[in-house]
């Protein structure tokens, strides 16, 4: 059973009442469609995560300063001096 | 209280000692201005690609090895999805099914083994600020300097049986990580953080009780206090016939209690999946051997060497082990030496003289003007009899202050040993003349009276004579005169 409300909440989407009703029907249909894959026999097949066959891509531990940090800060939805400013997050007790 | 058993598992996060972040080249420097060390990758800009820091992986492998873990030959990164303003990508790159290490243990000095469930690599989040100075903000500020700094998560099995044992485990784990060069493990700077899972059960019960997660413990003392409180709270509830709710509680340091965290948790729905931006890591024998060949001496190995090879006492070895800076300083002082009296003397200067002064002045070893080679020379002068203990104690504070070799300071302060034997003989004769009574005692067979005479000579020379030489000269003079 798909809990559409939970999925909407997790995705942080704004969904109207009308859309909710629509998705409640559509989403299970989509999932059902994917179930077609279960017909395949994958008994002795290991899962793969990439098709490239590339492994061990690493970089050396070298520090390099990014020169345009001002550009990042400028693009903050809101900023205060050199901080990003967001709505108050309550994590106190 | 007596009928209950406390069951604790700890989740420790340590910041790995790297120069750059986990997936980008930004600095990991702690003392930076707000948002000084940020780039498109660690602020989660669209279209950027993470690139794995090799050193971080090596350190994670070393940690797994010293915690006796099995190593996953193929290791992968996964995305842990959740929304929080300190997490710019809305997912944290972590590991899920294939952590670097799993199923190991840490053997405590007491001999008890605490199981290690897993050791995995992940990245830190940004830091949220709710205050400016003491002013509480009605919004929050974010500093992303910490975002993307490599972290290691070390999850213990629920093998810990008391808050005290939790601290013992933490203390020893920390020491091992510091010695292996994995992390600074400085709780004040946040490079070591600890959360706990705690449950209680009646003694003899096989099933585990309902566990509560305890967070927000900022020192080893608060770990002990928080876990003691939480154990008592759970036992009290169960004795009243009530139930424990599985939840996250925060330690309130000031109030001395744990409090239920009211933040809504979607938490345990992280929807982990393999990160498509990062390809897998496959460690072959050769790579692992090379990494493991670089593991430095660990605390218990060093302790054994100090006792078995250097003949230090267990007490001395323990003090050194718990203070790596002191121990490393000692290592420098004794480099190239192989005389046991040298080790003993050097250890005594550091443990009995230096540590007290450092504590008193709140200094660390690297702020010290005194260098290991200065102390090395002092120890040599002392054991070769070129200076007395008294002169040593006098010159040591000057060495600390000036940061100079003792030989140089002794010369400057006219405290050098009198090398001229005629000079000493002259002073000895003088002392004999002035102490006729003692000389007579000696001649009547009271041989120990010579000690008083040696003392007088030392006084006259302000300790600058070699007492052994003085003793010999005095004896010669006494025996040769009628
Ligand atoms: Zn960065």
Q: How far apart are CA B122 and CA B125, in angstroms?
A: 10
What is the pLDDT at residue A93? 43
Residues in chain A with pLDDT values less than 70: 1, 90-93
CA of B147 to the centre of ligand 1 (A): 8
Q: What is the dihedral of CA B44, B45, B49, B54, to 10 degrees?
A: -40
Q: How far apart are CA B101 and CA B283, in angstroms?
A: 12
Q: Candidates 3.30.750.200, 3.30.428.10, 2.40.50.840, 1.10.10.410; correct CATH number of B421-480?
A: 1.10.10.410
Half-sphere exposure (Cβ direction) of A18: Cα atoms closer than 13 Å: 0
CA distances from A25 to A3, A36, B157 (A): 12, 18, 44
User: Is A93 in contact with B250 (Cβ distance < 8 A)?
Assistant: yes
What is the pLDDT at residue B443? 84
- Say whether residue B276 is in contact with chain A using an 8 A CB cutoff: yes
User: Is B269 in contact with A6 (Cβ distance < 8 A)?
Assistant: yes
Beta strand pairing status for B248-252 and B212-217? Answer: parallel
pTM for the whole thing?
0.85
Which residues sit opposite B107 in a β-bridge? Answer: B113
ipTM of the complex: 0.89
pLDDT in tens for each of the 482 residues of chain B? 678 999 999 999 999 999 999 999 999 999 999 999 999 999 999 999 999 999 999 999 999 999 999 999 999 999 999 888 999 999 999 999 999 999 999 999 889 999 999 999 999 999 999 888 888 889 999 999 999 999 999 999 999 999 999 999 999 999 999 999 999 999 989 999 999 999 999 999 999 999 999 999 999 999 999 999 999 999 999 999 999 999 999 999 999 999 998 655 555 689 999 999 999 999 999 999 999 998 999 999 999 999 999 999 999 999 999 999 999 999 999 999 999 999 999 999 999 999 999 999 888 898 999 999 999 999 999 998 888 888 899 899 999 999 999 989 888 877 777 777 888 888 888 888 888 888 888 888 888 888 888 888 888 888 778 888 888 888 888 887 66
> B20: which chain A residues are within 8 Å (Cβ-Cβ)?
61-64
Contacts of B272 (CB under 8 A, 6+ apart): B78, B79, B80, B81, B94, B96
B325 Cα to chain A: minimum distance (Å): 25
Q: Which two tokens stand for residue B325?
A: 């800076």
For residue B34, give the nearest of A62, A82, A87 by CB distance: A82
Q: Which two tokens stand for residue B54?
A: 């090799």
Domain boundaries, chain A: 4-38
DSSP letter at A85 equals E
pLDDT tens per residue, range B135-178: 888 999 999 999 999 999 999 999 999 999 999 999 999 999 99
Q: Which two tokens stand for residue B347?
A: 């250890």
- Say whether residue B52 is in contact with chain A using an 8 A CB cutoff: yes
**Residue from B139, B254, B277 to probe the interface with A (highest A Cβ count within 10 Å):** B139
| Neighbour-count burial of B411, counting CB atoms closer than 10 A to its CB (0-12 exposed, 13-18 middle, 19+ buried) | exposed
User: Is B36 in contact with A49 (Cβ distance < 8 A)?
Assistant: no
User: Is A58 in contact with B252 (Cβ distance < 8 A)?
Assistant: no
User: Is A72 in contact with B38 (Cβ distance < 8 A)?
Assistant: yes
User: Is B54 in contact with A9 (Cβ distance < 8 A)?
Assistant: no
- Residues from A in contact with B at Cβ < 8 Å: 6, 9-10, 12, 49-50, 52, 54-66, 69, 72-73, 80-93
B81: closest chain A residue by CA: A10
CB-based contact B119:B95 (threshold 8 Å):
no
CA of A64 to the centre of ligand 1 (A): 9
Which residues sit opposite B258 in a β-bridge? Answer: B251
Map residue A84 onto helix, strand or coil: strand
CA of B213 to the centre of ligand 1 (A): 32
Element (H, E) at A41: none
- Say whether residue B277 is in contact with chain A using an 8 A CB cutoff: no
CA of B122 to the centre of ligand 1 (A): 15
CA distances from B218 to B173, B333, B341, B357 (A): 16, 35, 42, 28
For residue B138, give the nearest of A62, A72, A88 by CB distance: A88
Q: Long-range pairs for B328-336 at CB < 8 Å and ≥24 separation?
A: B328/B365, B329/B354, B329/B365, B329/B372, B332/B372, B332/B373, B332/B376, B333/B372, B333/B375, B333/B376, B333/B379, B334/B310, B334/B376, B335/B372, B335/B376
Which single residue is written with the structure tokens 């876990």?
A: B227
CB-based contact B244:B212 (threshold 8 Å):
yes
Domain boundaries, chain B: 4-289, 299-412, 421-480
For residue B40, give the nearest of A9, A52, A72 by CB distance: A72
> A61: which chain B residues are within 8 Å (Cβ-Cβ)?
18-20, 53-56
């Amino acid at each position: 059973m798909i809990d559409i409300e939970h999925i909407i909440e997790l995705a942080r989407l704004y969904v109207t009442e009308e859309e909710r009703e629509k998705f409640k029907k559509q989403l299970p249909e989509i999932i059902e469609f994917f179930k077609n894959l279960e017909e395949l026999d994958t008994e002795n097949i290991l899962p793969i995560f990439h098709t490239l066959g590339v492994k061990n891509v690493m970089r050396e531990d070298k520090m390099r300063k990014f020169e345009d940090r001002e550009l990042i800060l400028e693009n903050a939805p809101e900023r205060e001096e050199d901080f990003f400013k967001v709505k108050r997050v309550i994590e106190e007790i | 209280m007596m009928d209950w058993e406390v069951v604790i598992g700890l989740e420790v996060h340590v910041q790995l000692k790297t120069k750059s972040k986990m997936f980008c080249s930004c600095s990991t420097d702690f003392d930076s201005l707000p948002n000084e060390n940020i780039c498109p990758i660690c602020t989660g800009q669209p279209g950027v690609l993470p690139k794995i820091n090799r050193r971080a992986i090596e350190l994670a492998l070393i940690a797994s090895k010293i915690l006796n873990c099995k190593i996953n030959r193929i290791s992968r990164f996964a995305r842990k999805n959740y929304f929080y303003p300190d997490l710019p990508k809305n997912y944290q790159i972590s590991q899920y099914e294939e952590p670097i290490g799993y199923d190991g243990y840490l053997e405590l000095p007491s001999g008890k083994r605490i199981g290690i469930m897993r050791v995995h690599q992940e990245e830190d989040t940004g830091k949220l600020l709710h205050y400016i100075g003491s002013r509480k903000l009605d919004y929050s500020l974010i500093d992303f300097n910490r975002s993307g700094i490599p972290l290691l998560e070390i999850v213990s099995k629920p093998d810990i049986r008391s808050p005290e044992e939790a601290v013992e485990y933490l203390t020893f784990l920390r020491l091992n990580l510091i010695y292996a060069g994995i992390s600074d493990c400085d709780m004040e700077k946040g490079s070591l953080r600890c959360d706990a899972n705690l449950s209680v059960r009646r003694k003899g019960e096989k099933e585990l009780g309902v566990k509560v997660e305890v967070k927000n413990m900022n020192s080893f003392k608060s770990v002990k206090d928080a876990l003691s409180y939480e154990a008592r709270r759970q036992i009290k509830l169960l004795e009243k016939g009530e139930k424990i709710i599985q939840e996250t509680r925060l330690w309130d340091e000031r109030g001395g209690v744990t409090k239920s965290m009211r933040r809504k948790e979607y938490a345990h729905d992280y929807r982990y999946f393999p990160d498509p931006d990062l390809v897998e890591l496959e460690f072959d024998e050769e790579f692992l051997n090379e990494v493991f060949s670089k593991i430095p001496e660990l605390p218990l190995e060093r302790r054994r060497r100090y006792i078995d090879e250097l003949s230090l006492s267990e007490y001395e070895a323990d003090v050194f082990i718990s203070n790596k800076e002191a121990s490393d300083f000692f290592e420098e002082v004794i480099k190239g030496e192989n005389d046991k009296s040298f080790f003993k003397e050097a250890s005594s200067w550091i443990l009995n003289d230096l540590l007290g002064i450092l504590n008193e002045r709140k200094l660390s070893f690297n702020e010290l003007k005194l260098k290991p080679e200065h102390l090395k020379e002092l120890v040599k002068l002392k054991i070769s009899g070129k200076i007395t203990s008294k002169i040593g104690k006098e010159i040591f504070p000057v060495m600390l202050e000036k940061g100079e070799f003792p030989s140089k300071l002794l010369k400057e302060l006219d405290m050098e040993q009198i090398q001229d034997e005629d000079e000493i003989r002259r002073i000895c004769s003088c002392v004999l003349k002035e102490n006729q009574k003692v000389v007579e005692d000696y001649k009547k067979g009271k041989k120990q009276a010579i000690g008083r005479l040696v003392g007088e000579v030392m006084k006259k020379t302000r300790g600058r004579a070699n007492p052994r030489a003085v003793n010999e000269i005095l004896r010669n003079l006494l025996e040769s005169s009628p």
